[in-house]
């Protein structure tokens, strides 16, 4: 089976497969091009499966690492179970290293399915619902400015400052991530400003009368900015009943603000799955403790570049990583288990990690778990929408 990036004149074939897979209406006048590169699998010259490849720079412990989102993964129904999707993932394992990609992400329809390709569910996020009448203790605020496109550079700079506060947030450098026609689309972004006039937070939302104001992005640099944005959103309490904020994690700034309010509801919000494509690089850019430590990982990953035992010696926040074929090790990890322990920021210990499928503790793992503590982690990209 041939796997390669599709040519421009094959874009319509990909959209037809996507329409058949996801059951949406195909329009030949619209679906005749692709915005992102599409990696396709071909059987006897016919495109039978494909995925869009979105390229991102993603924060990991203060370093911008190259990452991708594989989106719109689909296969023609009559060609399913012929290995098209598997061939795409196996091919991507090879080209990921050649292109400097450290980690990949996708939105899984099935965790079990994508675990076969090394992915693990690691973006456990929640939707928070708060009745507006329960927010009366937060003062109303008007210290905001509607985003119209003219403040694009300032908004990108603000977002990118927020990137370095949480692991796996992605850098934004252009207009495609923000709506600059709010009145035409009813899609609003407001920038909060501190007393000095500096942008220190923003919120993106839609209003669905009479029930909900739904914010799918809320990022702030300070507690004052968070309270200011919530105080601004309270100005909608005359036309909607409930504030809904998506993609929050346990211990996020908003969850800390509302955790003492009764009637607050937390609902599972899906999330993303992640995979490590370059384990050595990830281990090198991890932020380590100041004290000296050592551990070794037996990687049970199918990807050739991740096979073997990785020896890590660390001190003063940095580490030296070497790779060997065999010998003793402290912990063995499958690819999904490695994603859970190294990417997700869950802060496991030896006592909790043993319950994760694909983890084997063999030696002294104290230094390993100290090197991967709980970290604020939230993957974001432009594929999400309200």
pLDDT in tens, 286-322: 999 999 999 999 999 999 999 999 999 999 999 999 9
What pLDDT, on a 0 to 100 scale, did the predictor assign at position 268? Answer: 86
The percentage of the chain sitting over the pLDDT mark of 70, rounded to a whole number, equals 98
Answer whether CATH 3.40.630.30 is correct for domain 2-101: yes
Cβ atoms within 10 Å of 300's Cβ, excluding its own: 15
**Residues linked to residue 220 through DSSP beta bridges, in sequence order:** 201
Confidence of residue 109 (pLDDT cuts 50, 70, 90): confident
- Residue 386 pLDDT level (bands cut at 50, 70, 90): very low
Instruction: Report the alpha-carbon distance of residue 152 to residue 160 in Å, rounded.
Output: 12
Tens of pLDDT, residue by residue over 64-79, are: 999 999 999 999 999 9
| Residue pLDDT, tens place only, 339-368 | 999 999 999 999 999 999 999 999 999 999
Compute the distance between CA of residue 163 and CA of residue 58 in angstroms, rounded to an integer. Answer: 8
Q: Using the predicted structure, report yes or no on whether residue 382 has a pLDDT greater than 60.
A: no
Q: Model confidence over 126-175: pLDDT tens digits? A: 999 999 999 999 999 999 999 999 999 999 999 999 999 999 999 998 88
pLDDT value at residue 381:
67
Outline which parts of the chain fall under CATH 3.30.1050.10. 278-371
Domain 278-371 CATH assignment equals 3.30.1050.10: yes
The domain made up of 126-268 has a fold known as Aminopeptidase (3.40.630)
How many angstroms from the chain centroid is the CA of residue 26? 28
Return the percent helix, strand and coil in the chain, to nearest 5: 30, 35, 40
Confidence at residue 158, expressed as pLDDT on a 0 to 100 scale: 97
Q: Which residues, 6+ apart, have CB-to-CB distance to 261 below 8 Å?
A: 130, 134, 135
User: Which of the four pLDDT bands, split at 50, 70 and 90, describes residue 380?
Assistant: confident
CA neighbor of 14 nearest in space, from 76, 89, 86, 84: 76
Instruction: For CATH 3.40.630.30, list the domain ranges present in the chain.
Output: 2-101, 126-268
Outline where 211-308 has alpha helix (H).
Answer: 223-233, 253-258, 279-285
Q: Kindly list the distances between the CA atom of residue 171 and the CA atoms of 6, 51, 152, 167, 254, in Å, as whole numbers in the listed order.
A: 27, 22, 14, 11, 21
pLDDT digit string, tens, across residues 200-222: 999 999 999 999 999 999 999 99
Q: Quote the distance between the C-alpha of residue 109 and its chain's center.
A: 15
């Amino acid at each position: 089976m041939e796997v390669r990036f599709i040519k421009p004149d094959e874009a319509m074939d990909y959209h037809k497969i996507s329409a058949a897979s996801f059951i949406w209406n195909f329009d030949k006048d619209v679906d005749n091009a692709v915005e992102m590169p599409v990696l396709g699998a071909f059987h006897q010259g016919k495109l039978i499966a494909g995925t869009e490849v979105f390229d991102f720079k993603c924060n990991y412990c203060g370093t911008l690492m190259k990452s991708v989102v594989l989106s719109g993964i689909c296969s023609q129904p009559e060609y399913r179970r012929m290995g098209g999707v598997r061939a795409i993932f196996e091919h991507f394992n090879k080209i990921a290293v050649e292109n400097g990609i450290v980690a990949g992400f996708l939105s899984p329809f099935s965790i079990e399915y994508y675990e076969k390709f090394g992915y693990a569910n690691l973006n456990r996020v929640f939707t928070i619902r708060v009745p507006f009448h329960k927010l009366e203790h937060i003062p109303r605020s008007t210290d905001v400015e509607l985003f119209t496109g003219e403040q694009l550079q300032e908004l990108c700079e603000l977002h990118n400052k927020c990137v370095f506060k949480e692991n796996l947030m992605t850098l934004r450098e252009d207009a495609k991530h923000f709506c600059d026609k709010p009145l035409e689309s009813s899609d609003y972004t407001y920038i909060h400003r501190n007393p000095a006039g500096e942008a220190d937070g923003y919120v993106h939302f839609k209003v669905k009368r009479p029930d909900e104001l739904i914010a799918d992005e809320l990022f702030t640099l300070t507690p004052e900015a968070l309270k200011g944005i919530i105080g601004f959103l309270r100005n909608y309490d005359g036309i909607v009943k409930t504030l809904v904020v998506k993609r929050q994690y346990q211990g996020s700034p908003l969850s800390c603000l509302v955790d003492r309010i009764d009637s607050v509801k937390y609902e599972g919000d899906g999330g993303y799955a992640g995979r490590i494509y370059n384990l050595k690089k990830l281990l090198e850019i991890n932020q380590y403790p100041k004290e000296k430590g050592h551990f070794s990982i037996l990687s049970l990953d199918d990807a050739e570049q991740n096979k073997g035992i990785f020896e890590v010696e660390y001190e003063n926040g940095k580490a030296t990583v070497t790779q060997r074929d065999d010998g003793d090790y402290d912990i063995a990890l499958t690819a999904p288990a490695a994603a859970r322990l190294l990417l997700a920021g869950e802060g496991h210990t030896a006592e909790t990690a043993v319950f994760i499928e694909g983890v084997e503790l063999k030696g002294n793992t104290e230094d390993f778990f100290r090197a991967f503590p709980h970290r604020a982690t939230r993957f974001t990209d432009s594929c999400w929408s309200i």
